[in-house]
Amino acid sequence: MSSNPSHYAASSPWCVYKFGGSSVGTPGRLPRVLSLISEAQRPLAVVVSALGDTTDWLISAASAAARGDEAGSGAELAQVRSLARSIAGTVLESAVLTAHEKTVEQLLAPIERLLTGVELTRECTPATLDEVLSVGERISSELVARALTARGIPALAVDARTFLVTDETAGAARVDIEASRARLTPLVPGWEGKVPVITGFIARSHQGRTTTLGRNGSDYTATLLSWLLGARQVTVWTDVPGVMTADPALVGDAYPVPRMTYAEALELAHFGTRMFHPRTMIPLLESGAALHIRGTTEPDAPGTRIDAEGNPDPHRPTSVTSLERLALLHVESLRPTLNEPLGHRVLQALEAARITVWGGTLSALAPSISLVVPQAQAERAHAVLEEALRGERERREVRVPPPHAPVTLVTLVAESMGHRPNVAGRFFHALGNVGVNVRAILQGASSRSVSCAVDAEDTAVAVRTVHSAFNLNETEINVLLVGKGTVGGRLLAQLAENAKTLKARHGVALRLVGVVDSRRALFEPRGLPPAEVHARLADVSPGNASPPDVRPLLERLSRLSVPVLVDCTAADGLETLYAEAFRRGIHVVAANKKPLARPWKECESLHGLARAHFRTWHYETTVGASLPVIETLKNLVRTGDRVERIEGCFSGSLGAICHALMDGVPLSQAVRTARTNGYTEPHPRDDLSGLDVARKALILARELGLELELEDVAVEPLVPPEHLREEDPEAFLRTLGSLDADVSAQVARYRAAGRSLRYLAQILPNAPGGPRVKVGPVAVDAAHPATGLKGAEAMVSFFTERYREFPLIVRGAGAGGDVTAAGVLADILRLAQNVRGRR
């Protein structure tokens, strides 16, 4: 076989696998690693990290030795031995296990002697620490090679120090590629027919001293090896199924990015993705090999492929990162210009002090500069800048305020970002919509990312919001539904019927995560099929409280992207639940009128709470079911029109009853039919009393800014008040029979006079003596717009300065479970569109 590396690479298409510490050092996972190796194509080179937490224990052992703590150092080494023994015991038989334990002792013996010297001198130099840390990977390499051989797969433990050559820098050595290639070439023929299991992370300097390659050093070893062998692909097996669209601990619906470019991976490395280090990518950029990230726990998942081409879809973002535990520094120039560029001096001073700068607004001519630095270095960085700019500070030309900490750097990375308009606009619009205060906008050298600094407490909501706004999957809305009666039940049906259409045509994934009725509560953060809710809820044992306490579910809901509380009840007291939802960052969509009819100050306080937490409260269906009554009124007011009068039949249920009465149907039968059709409130007396219409009129009056209470609404019920005292709905319906004859006679007189019975509401904001609102039964003439209403139709007329001669009329179905549920669904979709922003 030729020793020429290019000839060897051409004739033997090497593959390189790398396994991390959790893959080889977590109980139960090593057998899976061995299976993956046995199933891989040949020739194959395997790079391994130290088992589990071995590297951390070795660092602790060295630290304890430097303090003179012999017992502490020994205890840390004991953990290394124990883990090596327990993991080996899962894959090696007795005789082989004994040989392996002997090898471990042989590897640890010189380390123990080295640490004894550290204990005596009370000093552990970086070079000494590199030597101590090297034993972790060597133990791992020996174990995996033995385990493979025991399974009938010839394998060879290879110490990377035999071929990787570096400079003398301890802790983060730089590799000499040509020297390393020269040492590797004669070794490769000896690997023929075997799987070399190579130590990651460690190397040897030109002078023969052990060195380490720094953070993600084993990944770097793997990509270096692929370059030296001419491999076309490196597979890094880890404990996640790929490069995720966001940190799964923050975003429950984060998912693996299928493809990305080298440049995107480098950008992610810079902004805190621990999976990458810039040096890991360098060999790939030079060789053109692809890097494949896959999960050992989900080996059949496609993972993430990183290569020169990346994702062919130019509109696909890659990932949202969050770099935490940072501080924000400002330098403010109080003069338009200074003798020397301020940005240059600031960076020079921080670089000289070896302070890491993650990003900032660094225009040399800017009147102020913002920088993000590690929080642990914030005070020292502040002192450095104060000293460097002392002269300007004394002349009052520059201010250096104390650092703002802690902050998080939130970044969206996308290869196509520089080729699409309004990416930054959407990024900041999304954050502004949810009330995240952007402390600084940070500029990078490339167009692949946009970053900002936010307060640490806003990290989770900021990452979830950006993840959702950029449609990394679909815009996901997570719904907790309270009430599954007439309206709630129809909403569940509509969610089941429209889910695919909403996702395919509108890019909205409505996920029902919880349902609460009068006795039970069900919550599943991964989603509930709407069609199965009734059966699933029936299997839940009723709790002690009736209705159930929804507040504990709000905490779980708040952790999901775009959380929405949907109230399809007519229950009292839910304003306290709304307030709790707003405080937890949850939007509210409601068909319940009662919270909006609470005393003025309470209602305004609730609106203020929603605004303070940048949450939306949509309640279009509280007046006119799915008719756009409230939105129409809001638009009139927003555009400066002056509303002079609002009049109409606000209740579809009373409309249906009045229409039936005009057709000669007795009152008791008309009300019973309306209730059967789902038009009335749960207790029909709320409709016949006029209270439901009064609440609707009050809601519209308050949209005009009128500070009115429910008691200010003049209400005349459809039936005499003494018939409204019955608490039981069925008994109430039976008592209405005594009114049938009188009501039918009155209706006959209206018909004879050419009039029609309608239950009318009037809002007069500019009436003499102050605003007036009244509701009650009225006999309208043939010319009145309400005369032509059929069945459960509702109608609202807006008389304004612009619509004085011909009023603006909103008319249509005003009651019924289907239309009200459709209005609730429309409110949810409107919320989704607002969160998503303009694309």
| 619 φ/ψ angles, rounded to the nearest 5 degrees | -145, 35
Which residue type occupies 743?
A: V
Rounded CA gap, 819 and 794, in Å?
Answer: 12
Element (H, E) at 477: strand 475-482
| CA nearest to 615, candidates 582, 659, 647 | 582
DSSP string of 407-455, one letter each residue: EEEEEEE-TTGGGSTTHHHHHHHHHHHTT--EEEEEB-SSSSEEEEEEE
SS (H, E, C) 283-327: HHHHHCCEEEEEECCCCCCCCEEEECCCCCCCCCCCEEEEEEEEE
The CA–CA distances, whole Å, from 95 to 33, 109, 150, 477, 809 equal: 22, 22, 11, 58, 90
Q: Token digits for 75?
A: 């205890």
Count of CA atoms in the C-beta half-sphere (13 A) of 212 = 23
Q: Token digits for 152?
A: 């009938």
**Strands, sheet with 165-166, edge to edge from the N-terminal-most edge strand:** 165-166, 202-205, 210-212
The sign one gets for the Cα dihedral 489, 494, 497, 503 is negative
- Cα-to-chain-centroid distance, residue 131: 42
Residue 594 falls in the annotated catalytic set: no
- 476 strand-pairing partners: 509
Catalytic residue among 102, 696, 774, 790: 696
Count of CA atoms in the C-beta half-sphere (13 A) of 521 = 15
Q: Are 830 and 618 in contact (CB under 8 A)?
A: yes
Q: Token digits for 633?
A: 């009124």
Q: Token digits for 149?
A: 């051989």
Rounded CA gap, 431 and 453, in Å?
Answer: 11
| 774 φ/ψ angles, rounded to the nearest 5 degrees | -140, 145
- The helix-helix angle for 629-638 and 691-703 (nearest 10°) equals 20
Rounded CA gap, 477 and 551, in Å?
Answer: 19
Q: Are 166 and 203 in contact (CB under 8 A)?
A: yes
Which residues participate in catalysis according to the annotation? 696
